[in-house]
Structure 1
Amino acid sequence: MAREHVLGGTAEAVVQTGPGVFTRMVFDVPHIGDDEALVAVEACGICGTDAETFTGGIPLQYPVIPGHEPVGRITAIGDRAAARWRVQVGDRVVLQSDIGCGRCVGCIRGDLCVVDPGTLGFIPTTRAPSLWGGYSEVLYLPPGAMPHRIADHVPARTAALYNALGAGFAWAVEAPGLRYGDSVAVLGSGQRGLASVVAARAAGASFIAVTGLGSRDAHKLALAADLGADLVIDVEQDDVVERVRGATDGEGVDVVVDTTPHATTPVLDALRLARQGGTVVLGGLKGRGNGVPGFPVDDVAMRRLRIVGVRAVDYRSFRNAVRLLERAPTFLERMHTHHFSLDAAAEAVRTLTDPSAGAIAITIEPGN
């Protein structure tokens, strides 16, 4: 038998009704079935995807409640859902953004649904029960949701780093098959870049280099060093290939992870940084239809380089992120720089993309 949501009959949420337009709305909180749950949202992380959807760079089917990185507490849950997810009322959880039918092979394996795929923060409010995004007081969990319980001692703002850290493990560890003692270069020192440094260090990398723009990213490069990078490179001052090859006796690194958005030059740098037989992971989107001028196809073939594209975060990487947050919340909380109330959601998104703000990880907090 499903237990009732304890917060009341309605929930407030921020709804995007068009590019750059956020509106505060009130929704009825649904009664749930045995395979469903409700979460009281404490914090919702934001990333570059939120900025792209806000401006219309990534199209949405309006109206929609954004937010795909929510942290909150279970306030109502059906018995079958509680048994399947191994959570109960009062547990704090973080959510994988991809959801599905809960019954197909993909859902059972923790992969993408092959029957009814969806993504938190991208489902229109016209689809019942409307509460599909993290910019809301309450979030609905369908049977195909994938919550991960996270310990109470991790502050909600810090717990909201789970998605970025999950990407770090997915991109810097799982995708390239990082082995203990491997060397790594991370291009870009934003959320995903810093998370890749953290994940690579946790996985036993012997050497980690990270790049950034000194005029904009000096504080991020300093934090990267604190988080485990052995070499930080200001690409406005130094040649990244010379610095990395100089630090690796001219050999290059085993794994290169490009997290930089839009710019295509880092892709060419990544190929030059990798040792023969090394792996290049491409995680930073460059814009639909944008190619890489001068891409050295023959060099890739002759040097037997492996190129891996990444986007989503797998179940194991989420679990590794949660475990790391539970072990070292104080160490990781320095990645969080700003928090905003639900009413200030638009300001939060603008702050993320404002170079003068120095933002790394930002949360929107409905209860703030």
Structure 2
Amino acid sequence: MVEMVRAAVQTEPRTIEMREYPRPTIGRDDGLIRVEANGICGSDVEIFSGELGGARGPFIPGHEPMGIIEELGELASERWGVEVGDRVGLEVIVPCRQCKDCLIGRYQACRFRQGGHGVTPVAVEPILWGGFAEYMYLSPTSVMHKIDKDLPEEIAAMYNPIGAGVRWAVDLGGVGLGDTVVILGAGQRGLGAVIAAKSVGASKVVITGLEKDHHKLDLAKELGADHAVAVDGPNAVDIVEFVGDITNGAMADVAVELTPMAAGPVNDAIKSVRHGGTVVLAGLKAGREIPIVTDTIIQRALTFKGAFGVDAPAQRKAIEIIESGRFPLEKLHTHTFGLEEVGEAIDTLSGKAGNGDAVHVSVHPHKD
């Protein structure tokens, strides 16, 4: 049995140190997974740069971990319905499971949660809370989901971005059979929203991106998008006019805004939906105030929803989509990195490293 566990620790913005920590002692109520892969998302980029997260002290990042249960207490096994050897994906939030919010199903609002997977400082025992490590601790209140062990690691690790697509477009946006949906932002979660919308029968799916995202826009069409358009460059499309044209003025039922930092797409989302339509806001702006015309929201009877993370029902639906084999998800994955390459992996997703073609990037701690 391995006694010391290697982990990538972020000590300050853009600084990762390789450290070793003792393997936790597992009791009747907790467990340990051998991390197979951990996906990287836009918030990892922003946390790595220091734009998000604030001061928390050194911590092990990685909030999309997926792996094989290595040790498990008997009470934990009964509670989670899993066994040693099962493959599971973990949610970020580690709720208390005892407060009113938790007991009525609003565990994401738990006020008593202590950090979470991929965000908890190493000062909090037993240290191994993040997915950028060889092994990861399973708290008695961790939220997990079983995933088919026959899936390739890089495909199984997509449960979170596809779960975001399900949560934001379908569960919050209400996209259903025959609907028109506009997705602003062609990152992996935008592509996840394309998959989710098509999985429930949306008739027209439009996704936007930048000219430099042409490879993502091409991929979106392979995943089922009916229209994939660039909103900048010499052939820039005015998305509001475009949606009006393809719907004969009826506009979209739902718009999902996923762009990081940008203000313009928020107003494009508002203008792209029909009277009584829904706008889902999921793109973080690092605290920036975004000017909007509230009269438009009132006069067009729009519904606004803020998308906070991915909950358990969306994760389960996403895993079902992945396991169905219905979509060519292997085309989403572009880069695989080892544990000592965490910084490069994050920079590759952001475009600071590599040739700018990254879509889904994952870190595999046991990669040779």
TM-score interval w.r.t. the shorter chain?
over 0.9
Contact 1:101 1:143 in 2 (8 A): no
Match of 2:27 among 33, 36, 43: 33
Paired residue for 1:363?
362
Paired residue for 2:10?
16
Q: Which amino acid aligns with 2:282?
A: G
Q: CA deviation at 1:329?
A: 7.4
Contact 1:277 1:303 in 2 (8 A): yes
Query: Partner of 2:195: helix, strand, or coil?
Result: helix
Is 1:251 matched with 2:243? no
Matches within 5 A, 1:302-317: 302-317=299-314
Q: Which amino acid aligns with 1:301?
A: I
Q: CA deviation at 1:230?
A: 0.6
Deviations 1:97-117 (A, max 9, x none): 111224444445372234234
Contact 1:191 1:360 in 2 (8 A): yes
Contact 1:352 1:360 in 2 (8 A): yes
106-115 or 331-340, larger mean C-alpha shift = 106-115
Q: Which amino acid aligns with 2:261?
A: H
Contact 1:154 1:329 in 2 (8 A): no
Q: Partners of 1:128 and 1:73 in 2: how far apart? A: 21
Distance 1:60 1:53, change over 3 A: farther
Aligned residues: 359
Q: Which amino acid aligns with 1:169?
A: V
Paired residue for 1:336?
333
Q: Which amino acid aligns with 1:222?
A: D
Q: Partners of 1:298 and 1:105 in 2: how far apart? A: 36
Q: CA deviation at 1:57?
A: 1.2
Paired residue for 1:299?
296
Deviations 1:272-291 (A, max 9, x none): 10011100111111220x22
Match of 1:345 among 328, 332, 342: 342
Query: Partner of 2:107: helix, strand, or coil?
Result: coil
Q: Partners of 2:95 and 2:282 in 1: how far apart? A: 24
Q: CA deviation at 1:243?
A: 1.3
Match of 1:65 among 46, 50, 60: 60
Match of 1:162 among 139, 159, 180: 159
Is 1:322 matched with 2:297? no
Contact 1:60 1:122 in 2 (8 A): no
Paired residue for 1:188?
185
Paired residue for 1:4?
none
Paired residue for 2:225?
229
Match of 1:144 among 141, 149, 168: 141
Q: What root-mean-square deviation, in Å, do the aligned CA atoms of Structure 1 and Structure 2 show? A: 1.4
Match of 1:54 among 35, 48, 51: 48
Distance 1:329 1:63, change over 3 A: farther
Contact 1:17 1:63 in 2 (8 A): yes
Deviations 1:212-259 (A, max 9, x none): 112x11010001001111111111221111111111111101000011
Contact 1:280 1:308 in 2 (8 A): yes
Q: Partners of 2:289 and 2:339 in 1: how far apart? A: 38
Q: State percent identity of aligned pairs.
A: 42
Match of 2:175 among 157, 173, 178: 178
Contact 1:166 1:317 in 2 (8 A): yes
Consecutive unaligned residues in structure 1, runs of 5 or more: 1-6
Deviations 1:140-195 (A, max 9, x none): 01011011010112111111111101110110011122232211010110011101
Consecutive unaligned residues in structure 2, runs of 5 or more: none
55-64 or 342-351, larger mean C-alpha shift = 55-64
Contact 1:53 1:60 in 2 (8 A): no
Query: Partner of 1:225: helix, strand, or coil?
Result: helix
Paired residue for 2:216?
220
Contact 1:46 1:363 in 2 (8 A): yes
Contact 2:337 2:363 in 1 (8 A): yes
Query: Partner of 2:328: helix, strand, or coil?
Result: helix
Q: Which amino acid aligns with 2:77?
A: A
Contact 1:44 1:67 in 2 (8 A): yes
Q: Partners of 1:233 and 1:52 in 2: how far apart? A: 26
Contact 2:31 2:76 in 1 (8 A): yes
Distance 1:329 1:132, change over 3 A: farther
Q: Partners of 1:50 and 1:270 in 2: how far apart? A: 25
Is 1:78 matched with 2:73? yes
Contact 1:99 1:120 in 2 (8 A): yes
Q: Which amino acid aligns with 1:67?
A: G
Distance 1:292 1:103, change over 3 A: closer
Q: Partners of 2:145 and 2:101 in 1: how far apart? A: 18
Q: Partners of 1:106 and 1:86 in 2: how far apart? A: 23
Distance 1:143 1:133, change over 3 A: same
Contact 2:230 2:237 in 1 (8 A): yes
Q: Which amino acid aligns with 2:65?
A: P
Q: Which amino acid aligns with 1:77?
A: L
Contact 2:10 2:61 in 1 (8 A): yes
Q: CA deviation at 1:33?
A: 1.6
Contact 2:254 2:278 in 1 (8 A): yes
Q: Partners of 1:330 and 1:298 in 2: how far apart? A: 40
